[in-house]
Structure 1
Amino acid sequence: MTLSDPWDSETAKAYDKLDAAMFAPAVLGPMVDRLAALAGGGRALEFAIGTGRVAIPLHEKGVPVTGIELSTAMIDELRGKVDDATIPVIVGDMATASAPGRFSLVYLVYNTITNLLSQREQVACFRNAARHLEAGGRFVLELGVPDLRKLPPGQTAVVFADQPGYIGLDTYDLLNQRVVSHHFRFGDDRQANLLRSAHRYVWPTELDLMAELAGFELEERSADWAGAPFTAESGSHVSIYRLAR
C-alpha cells in the first residue's frame, strides 16, 4: 500500500478548516478537562501534536505541553499560533522520537496511532510512551472501534460519511488489517478533491496486549471523554493506561 504523504503543506494549511467540527467546544471541552485532570499538575507530551488543536487549550488550562510531530508542514501551522517557548515540538516519529525530561501524561488522540502501519510500530509507540513517563504516569489513546460489521461478505469498501460537499469512503485489506480512508470534497463544478490516508486498524483488546508488552496496565476505558460506559455498540473509546512500575 503506497500512498503519497497526506500531511503536505497544502493539507496542513487547510487542516483546521477541514476538521472544523473537531474544534467545537462540545468536542474539545470534555477532552481538555479530562487530560488536565490526568496530568495531575505535571507535564504532558502529545504524540502527533499536529496544528495544536488539543495542545493549545490544554496549555491555556495551565498544563505544560510538549509535542512530537513528524510533519514539518503541520508544525509550521502550529507555529502560526504559538511559539516554541510556549509549546516545544520535536520533529520525529511518535514511535521513536524523544522529548527531553519526564512527563506525567502522554496522550495520542483522533485515531492517530493507526497512522503507524505495522503492529511492530504500534508496539514501539507504546514503549516510547513508557520511556517518557514518570513512575505511575498515564498513556491515553482516543481511537475508533473497527467498523467491520458494515462490510457484507465479499465487499471491501464502505461509505462512512455522506454530507453536502463531502463523501468519506473506507477500503479494507482484511488480510493485513489495513484500511485506506478516501476523503472526496467537491463544490458545484465537476471536479473533486481527493485526500487518501492509510491506516492499520486496531482492536481494543490488541491495544491492551501492546500496553502490557510496554509495562502498562489498563486503568479505564470509556466510550468518550465524558466517561460514558464502553459497550459492544460503542463506535470509539478513550483508553487510559497506567505505567505499572
Structure 2
Amino acid sequence: MSDDAARDDAVPSDKWTKAHADRYDVEGDPMFDPELLAVTTAFLAERAGDGRALEFAIGTGRVAIPLQARGVDVTGIEYAEPMAERLREKSSTIPVVIGDMATTKVEGEFSLVYLVFNTIENLYTQDAQVECFRNAARHLVPGGRFVVEVEVPAVRRMPPGNDAAVFDVTAEHVGLDTYDFVTQRATSHHYVRQDDGRYEYGPHHFRYVWPSELDLMARIAGLRLESRHADWIGSPFTSESDSHVSVWRKDAGD
C-alpha cells in the first residue's frame, strides 16, 4: 500500500503481503512465547465458556491455534489472503473468512469475539474502529464478550514539541513511530537489516486510540465495559500501564 493510499479515509488498514506472511512466524519472537500464549488463551477460553469464538484479524493463527487446542471452537476473519493461507498451511480445522473486520459477517453466533496485539489500530479512521465494535456486537450472543488487547498511546510520555518516539534499536532492526496529534494517525517506521548488510525500510500505518475512546465506541455498539487489565494475567490497570486487555459485554437483553 502506498503512503498516499494509506492516508485516504476510505482505506481501512494496510494490507499485508506474502512477504509479511512468510516472515511473520519468527522463531524466538516474544509474541510466540509459550508462556504468553498459555495465559492469553486461558483468559480467552474462560470468556468463551462453552460457546464459539471469533477472532478478528486472525493472521497466521498465533492465538487461534492454541486456543482451539484448549477445546474452543474458533473461526477467523482475515483481511490479507497470504496471512490466511499461511494459517491454512498450519491448521485445516479453523475456518477463515477473507474480509475487513469492520464489515465482514460470519455465519452463526459467538460467545466471544476477540482482537489482539494492537490490531484495532490497523483500522485507520475512527469511523472504521466504531464499525469494528458494531461488527463484534452483531456476532455476539446476548451476554457475549468482546476482548481487545491494545497499547496505551505512547504520546502521553512524549516531551512537548516531539512527534516521534523510538521503540526499538538493535543491530537487526530500528523502529520509530511518528504521530499526528490532530488525526491520531501514526506511522511505524521499520528499518530491517538484510543479509548483505543493507537496511530495508517498511512503514506501517495505524490510528492510536485511548481506553476511554474505546469505551465510548463500545457503548455506541451496545456493549458495556466489564473489566480492564494491564495484561493477560489480570494485573490491575493503572495510570502507568502501557497496554490493556479490555472486556466489553453485550447486554443480555439485547
Question: What's the TM-score once normalised by structure 1's chain length?
Answer: 0.95
* 8 Å Cα contact 1:183-1:196 kept in structure 2: yes
* 8 Å Cα contact 1:170-1:181 kept in structure 2: yes
* 8 Å Cα contact 1:144-1:237 kept in structure 2: yes
Separation of aligned partners in 1, 2:40 and 2:196 = 38
* Deviation at residue 195 of structure 1 after TM alignment: 2.1
In structure 1, the partner of 2:40 is 31
Separation of aligned partners in 1, 2:230 and 2:207 = 20
Pick which of 210-219 and 166-175 moved more.
Answer: 166-175
* Residue number among 118, 134, 145 corresponding to 1:138 in the alignment: 145
Question: What's the TM-score once normalised by structure 2's chain length?
Answer: 0.92
Separation of aligned partners in 2, 1:118 and 1:222 = 25
* Residue number among 8, 16, 23 corresponding to 1:14 in the alignment: 23
Separation of aligned partners in 2, 1:182 and 1:61 = 36
* Deviation at residue 151 of structure 1 after TM alignment: 2.4
Q: Structure 1's 18 and 12: CA in aligned 2 closer, same or farther, altered over 3 A? A: farther
Instruction: Tell me, yes or no, if structure 1 residue 195 matches structure 2 residue 202.
Output: yes
| Percent identity (aligned) | 55
* 8 Å Cα contact 2:143-2:249 kept in structure 1: yes
Q: Structure 1's 186 and 18: CA in aligned 2 closer, same or farther, altered over 3 A? A: farther
1:87-128, Cα deviation, whole Å (9 max, x unpaired): 001110000001100000000000001010111100000000
Pick which of 118-127 and 179-188 moved more.
Answer: 179-188
In structure 1, the partner of 2:66 is 57
Separation of aligned partners in 1, 2:123 and 2:47 = 25
* Deviation at residue 27 of structure 1 after TM alignment: 1.4
User: Residue type of the partner of 1:152?
Assistant: P
In structure 2, the partner of 1:127 is 134
User: Residue type of the partner of 2:45?
Assistant: A
Name structure 2 gaps, 5 residues minimum: 7-13
Instruction: Tell me, yes or no, if structure 1 residue 154 matches structure 2 residue 161.
Output: yes
In structure 1, the partner of 2:50 is 41
* 8 Å Cα contact 2:52-2:111 kept in structure 1: yes
User: Residue type of the partner of 2:111?
Assistant: S
* 8 Å Cα contact 2:15-2:80 kept in structure 1: no
Query: Secondary structure at 1:17's aligned position in 2?
Result: coil
Instruction: Tell me, yes or no, if structure 1 residue 106 matches structure 2 residue 113.
Output: yes
Query: Secondary structure at 2:90's aligned position in 1?
Result: coil
Q: Structure 1's 75 and 188: CA in aligned 2 closer, same or farther, altered over 3 A? A: closer
Separation of aligned partners in 2, 1:126 and 1:11 = 26
* 8 Å Cα contact 1:6-1:196 kept in structure 2: no
RMSD across aligned positions (CA): 1.5
Name structure 1 gaps, 5 residues minimum: none
* Deviation at residue 175 of structure 1 after TM alignment: 1.1
* 8 Å Cα contact 2:194-2:200 kept in structure 1: no
- Number of residue pairs the alignment of both structures matches: 243
